Structure 1
């Protein structure tokens, strides 16, 4: 995690705790000539525009006070969306029974991308049920080999 995202996380957590919201992810990225500070938040039944606006206002005040970022940037606070990233153990635990897409650092059974229903996560292994043509296959992925994971919207 970069220094900027660490500082922003420290500033964001108290705001989110007060509002009963969860921090999903913080990104500080350059796109073209512009820098973007993106803060993704969520709660049990999803966040709305008011939640995002409130967090944006309060976080913006804190950032203006401390001024920890030297470059000019745009602050964006939003929901992680339908294809929310899975980063922490609790993200995987909450996603059991849902459709996921997982990329691995190295091939497993000749593949590096896996899409299907998350059956289990035990802290060491992610178990995914994939549908291949007319049959189902269960793949076990060692957690340390997961490069990225997210919820997936699968259209049947």
Structure 2
């Protein structure tokens, strides 16, 4: 047990500590999550930076943040990139992905479909708007949107 007390240290308690370390290293703290697994409780810290994080970034961040988390209840500490296809949730996520191709998944069908693709053109508290391939703007009420994520396209090396 890394932490001093068994129980429920929350992500909200870890976030300011991890955010400070990330900022000191020129990184962005994207997410803090606790996962209960067979081997114990894993504290997952997801970091990012323009151009993506490297293994060295993750290792440096891990070494800097771990000593500051000695009172936190966890068995394993995992530091990782959030991945190229992580959901777009925050204003910062939107800013980084504005104009990019995204997939929007809805809770219920709209115009006969639950999944739409297009270029992310606007996002606020009430609405997410994409530009469809035909150039039309398609707004979606935020409360109807289950997920917005980047469309990942792998280019063929032969082309």
TM-score category, normalised to shorter length: 0.7 to 0.9
Using the TM superposition, give the Cα deviation of residue 48 of structure 1 relative to its aligned residue in structure 2, in angstroms: 1.3
Which residue of the partner structure matches residue 58 of structure 1? 64
Counterparts of 1:1-156 in structure 2 under 5 Å?
A: 4-64=10-70, 66=71, 68-69=72-73, 72-131=74-133, 138-154=137-153
Change in Cα spacing, 1:93 to 1:145, as seen in structure 2 (3 Å) is farther
5+ unaligned residues in a row in structure 2: which ranges? 1-7
Counterpart position of 2:5: none
Could you say what the CA RMSD is over the residues aligned between the two structures, in angstroms? Answer: 2.5
Superposition TM-score, scaled by structure 1 size: 0.79
The whole-number CA distance in structure 1 between the counterparts of 2:152 and 2:110 is: 23
Q: Which runs of no fewer than 5 residues in structure 1 stay unpaired?
A: none
Between 1:117-126 and 1:78-87, the stretch displaced more is 117-126
Deviations 1:56-108 (A, max 9, x none): 112211112x2x21xx5321111112113212122113211112222233332
Q: Which has the larger radius of gyration?
A: 2
- Kindly indicate which of the two structures has a greater share of residues assigned to strand: 1
Q: CA deviation at 1:123?
A: 4.1
- Pick closer, same or farther for the CA change 1:128–1:46 going to 2, 3 Å: same
In the comparison of the two structures, how many residue pairs are matched?
A: 148
Name the TM-score, length of structure 2 as normaliser: 0.77
Distance 1:104 1:120 in 2: 17
Stretches of 4+ aligned residues off by more than 3 angstroms? 31-34, 135-138
